[in-house]
Structure 1
Amino acid sequence: MTTDHIMREVSDKPPTYDKQDDYTLPPGKRLYMDQYNDIYKSRAKILKSRVMKMASSKWRNETINEVKAKYVNKLLDVKNLTPSYVIGTVFVDMKYKPNILKEVSGNIYEAPEFEDESQYSELDRTRIDSYSDPSSDQVMLEDDSGRLLLDGELLDKVVLVTGVVVGVLGMVVEAGIFTIVDIVYPEPGPQKPLPEAKDENILFISGLRISPTSDRAPLEILKEFIMGEISSGVDNVAEMLEKTTNLIILGNSIEVVDDPHKNLKGKDKYSEINKSNYDSESLKMLDRWISDLLVSIPVTILPGETDPAEIEFPKPPLHRSLFYHSSRRSNFERLSNPAWLEINGVRILATSGENVNDIFKYLIPNIHVEIGDGIDSPLRKEVLHDSRLKLLESTILWQNVAPTAPDTMCCYPYSGEDPFSLTETPHVYVVGNQPKFETSILEVKLKNDQVARVSIICVPDFSETGQCVMMNTNGLECKQFRVA
């Protein structure tokens, strides 16, 4: 171990850039009198024309049973046994999905209560808050005219959740049921040319989950690793760390600690579910930890689900008063969640993972459903047991990073806009607080048959895995490091 930290170069990070404030709401301009249906209207307005471009291009000469498919503008105008393609917003009716009317009237969730999480396996704990009962779930498409129930084998091969705008090809075989054989997504937003970036690295971390009762050793080891004082046993790690010019913390930096002295009334379900995330000692520990790192590397932090931030999406930046020491340094940056970043010309879209975690609940059976029921779908099996990459890739295909807001994910009631719908395709899409490290390159077609490549990155929860992820800004290659 050495006592000198690594001397690093400064990356090309512009002080201002477009999309910098896409998810930032000025405190004085937050209005809550608007209805949430404005978001759906804005989303459809933004994405329907882009879906139409893809649908007309792909299905212009498509036939089913040797009959040419025709575009139908309104869902309820679709005729029986007539090949058609339609565009609308997906709605998924699920047995265990939260129901606001029942919450208000009975102050409960639709899913049955359970007493103790410790009685469940790690796999079953992921299913406690799931919305799905595959035997009764229904996928529908809706527009201003009404709804059509969707059916077909294709539904087991694609990810569809409430709020996604898509086009589907098929026909009504039974009354009110549209059997689909193909699907298209919105035309991707343009992607800025990827410059020949410097050979530098960005380090991503999520899920520090600092609390007065947590083990501090992993944090100290991580800090020493970032500052170059210890090696992880990987060849050339010192050289890679020297080229690491930015540290980005993707939320869940603070752990929620139950206060045993706080008495809740028996019927106070809201306070029981929405526990206070504020703990002054945890914040002081986080502030000191970041402040120590700032002498060696710039740090950017996003708020997460367990951090002292608003519950709604997008989450505003953590308040500067929470970082007494760190806020005094110019290389400390607090961003919203989600957030756009630009480093060495690489456009990065980052979230702390709440959006993907909510989408996950649409794909896996609730704890009160037998695990074998309806899990003959390869897609559900893959998401439940192996990989969440399909969920991240789907958000890029949908051109919406939080389609389930506001239905099952709390968000700000935007009026006349839907900032979650993408108008630009990022070079990198990184999501924190995932079960394990995963990465892929997703290729999506743009105008004139051009192809945009998006680097998809799942950053694991550090408190659970002891891992962080390093990405090179030149080739967008990723590596994981287990440091604790």
Structure 2
Amino acid sequence: MFSDLSAQRDGSSLLRRPASEEQGPVFERSPPDYSLCTARYSVGERSFSRQYAHIYAARLMEMRPLLSDKAKHKWGPDVRIRKLCDLETGEQCCIVGTLFKRMDLQPSILKEISEEHNLLPQPARTKYITEADELVLEDELQRIKLEGKIDRDKCVTGSVIAIYGAEKNDGKFTVEDFCTAGLPSQTPRPALSSDKFVLLASGLGLGSSRADSMLGLQLLVDMVTGQLGDEGEQGGAATISRVLLAGNLLSQSTQDKDASTKPKYLTKKTQAGTVDAIRLLDEMLLQLVASVPVDVMPGQYDPTNYTLPQQPLHRCMFPLSSAYPTLQLVSNPYGATIDGVRFLGTSGQNVCDIRKYSSMESHLEILEETLGLRHLAPTAPDTLGCYPFYHRDPFILEECPHVYFSGNAPAFGSKLVAGSDGQEVLLVTVPDFSSTQTACLVNLRTLQCEPVSFSAFSADEDEESEMNISH
């Protein structure tokens, strides 16, 4: 992406004669207009004594008016919208409710403790769907089994939808059509006069034993801070107005699950694997925040709460980089407005969980599906850890973002989708950096995304190995 800028500069090459006295050019990085929008994901008073049924009730109450309007727009203003308690056999009507997917292979705590009773433990699976799964729609009072024209394998528990059809004599509801809430309204994106970029990276995996991952990470830091490449590349790096690190900053290998069960005398002189990894992260952030504003999101393997929404990492863990005002520790999910462009995304737990319990494989497809459902994490709190919210569901999308991303994906992907009311959303799956050595650059002016890959030494032949940066 920056190669075009490099080619436009006369004599801009690393092979030219170095200047003896003259100082090189200074590239100013223009700070963006930035507004953090994560207040809805802040958990104040933590109380886990409530039942999780309240969050489902709040989700349905808020989504029902939206889906009722959507149903009238799709099936006509005269469509009958019923509750389950008012259903009449054979009547063509519409019902708004929450999907529940009954799955035989879904993990449960009883199966997890089966080893204590000398039972055969459940095998590890990547998918939990089978042909025997059943779809159920429920509202505040009742539930009913679904059949007909609805993709059972693609649906997930917690999705609020509107279905159209009739109840048959066998007590099941035959679905003829269904609809989701669709994209919410969107604030128009301002027209920028020049290119500005936001760099997205996730899955840094610090604390692992992979040396090539550390080399690629240092190349990324040097590229962003302008210490890599010729004047053209440095001028292009100055257009990166912000860096966003989307979770899993530490490696999974730093999680020692056996430490809590070991006797104290065995762990007295040992320290957690996260200590050195956090120190390394602080030193890496110090290089970045001295040059560019950085937002840091927590992830699955980072030292914060497990349940969504994950709260920001504590500043005391970063004694070096926290001295800079350019370091912003944010929550997961994350929302912000950068130069008028609305960003919204997660560290990937919601997408990975939906992938396990549905037939969808592509992270990009799942992102588009959640955008259509108007909900960030429909499977929470059923199969995804979530705080038991009482009066509201903060994961409902009230405003349509311009950039909607998910971190720690197996590969990079981007797609520009358009809504029925003129919404334009860039979907981005940010790849896991420790395994792919790839980050993403989002152009705020054109709303285009491009991967930036940092290839380290090849494992085949050390003498002929190359170190490339491609974008």
TM-score, with length taken from structure 1: 0.80
2:407 is aligned to: 432
2:438 is aligned to: 467
Greater mean alpha carbon deviation, residues 339-348 or residues 175-184: 175-184
Shift of 1:423: 1.2
Shift of 1:137: 1.3
CA–CA distance in structure 2, aligned partners of residues 261 and 195 of structure 1 = 48
Work out which of the residue numbers 427, 444, 448 in structure 1 matches 2:419.
Answer: 444
Alignment of 1:223-234 (within 5 A): 223-231=221-229
Q: Is the 8 A contact 1:39 1:417 kept in 2?
A: yes
1:124 is aligned to: none
1:87 is aligned to: 96
Shift of 1:404: 0.8
2:428 is aligned to: 457
1:170 is aligned to: 165
1:77 is aligned to: 86
For residues 205-230 of structure 1, the C-alpha deviation after alignment (integer angstroms, 9 at most, x for no partner) is 00000005332222222222222333
SS of the residue corresponding to residue 288 of structure 1 reads helix
Q: Is the 8 A contact 2:290 2:324 kept in 1?
A: no
1:202 and 2:202 correspond: no
Amino acid of the structure 1 residue aligned with 2:29: E
Work out which of the residue numbers 1, 9, 13 in structure 1 matches 2:29.
Answer: 9
SS of the residue corresponding to residue 82 of structure 2 reads coil
Shift of 1:103: 5.3
For residues 231-275 of structure 1, the C-alpha deviation after alignment (integer angstroms, 9 at most, x for no partner) is 59xx97555422111110000010132688956769xxxxxxxxx
> What percent identity do the matched residue pairs reach?
30
CA–CA distance in structure 2, aligned partners of residues 302 and 295 of structure 1 = 19
Alignment of 1:235-274 (within 5 A): 238-257=234-253, 262=258
1:51 is aligned to: 67
2:55 is aligned to: 39
Shift of 1:104: 7.5
1:131 and 2:145 correspond: no
CA–CA distance in structure 2, aligned partners of residues 107 and 354 of structure 1 = 29
CA–CA distance in structure 2, aligned partners of residues 355 and 422 of structure 1 = 14
The 3 A distance-change label for structure 1 pair 187 and 128 is closer
Shift of 1:388: 2.1
CA–CA distance in structure 2, aligned partners of residues 5 and 22 of structure 1 = 43
2:11 is aligned to: none
Q: Is the 8 A contact 1:200 1:244 kept in 2?
A: yes
CA–CA distance in structure 2, aligned partners of residues 45 and 259 of structure 1 = 39
SS of the residue corresponding to residue 335 of structure 2 reads strand
Shift of 1:33: 1.9
Alignment of 1:116-155 (within 5 A): 128-133=125-130, 135-155=131-151
SS of the residue corresponding to residue 223 of structure 2 reads helix
Q: Is the 8 A contact 1:55 1:184 kept in 2?
A: yes
Shift of 1:439: 0.9
Work out which of the residue numbers 282, 285, 291 in structure 2 matches 1:290.
Answer: 285
SS of the residue corresponding to residue 22 of structure 1 reads helix
Shift of 1:453: 1.2
CA–CA distance in structure 2, aligned partners of residues 99 and 261 of structure 1 = 20
Q: Is the 8 A contact 1:256 1:277 kept in 2?
A: no
1:337 and 2:332 correspond: yes
1:373 is aligned to: none
SS of the residue corresponding to residue 451 of structure 1 reads coil
SS of the residue corresponding to residue 478 of structure 1 reads strand
1:347 and 2:342 correspond: yes
RMSD: 3.0
Work out which of the residue numbers 18, 22, 25 in structure 1 matches 2:43.
Answer: 25
For residues 170-200 of structure 1, the C-alpha deviation after alignment (integer angstroms, 9 at most, x for no partner) is 2234623222232211254321121113520
For residues 327-356 of structure 1, the C-alpha deviation after alignment (integer angstroms, 9 at most, x for no partner) is 000101000000111110111102100011
TM-score, with length taken from structure 2: 0.82
Q: Is the 8 A contact 2:54 2:390 kept in 1?
A: yes
CA–CA distance in structure 2, aligned partners of residues 277 and 444 of structure 1 = 47
CA–CA distance in structure 2, aligned partners of residues 185 and 278 of structure 1 = 44
CA–CA distance in structure 2, aligned partners of residues 10 and 154 of structure 1 = 50
1:407 and 2:382 correspond: yes
Amino acid of the structure 2 residue aligned with 1:463: S
Shift of 1:414: 0.8
Higher-Rg structure is: 2
CA–CA distance in structure 2, aligned partners of residues 36 and 228 of structure 1 = 49
Amino acid of the structure 1 residue aligned with 2:440: V
SS of the residue corresponding to residue 82 of structure 1 reads coil
Gaps spanning 5+ residues in structure 2: where?
Answer: 1-13, 263-270, 456-471
Q: Is the 8 A contact 2:149 2:177 kept in 1?
A: no
1:161 is aligned to: 156
Work out which of the residue numbers 308, 322, 337 in structure 2 matches 1:327.
Answer: 322
The 3 A distance-change label for structure 1 pair 91 and 278 is farther
The 3 A distance-change label for structure 1 pair 321 and 265 is closer
CA–CA distance in structure 2, aligned partners of residues 220 and 4 of structure 1 = 23
SS of the residue corresponding to residue 41 of structure 2 reads coil
Shift of 1:100: 4.6
1:396 is aligned to: 371
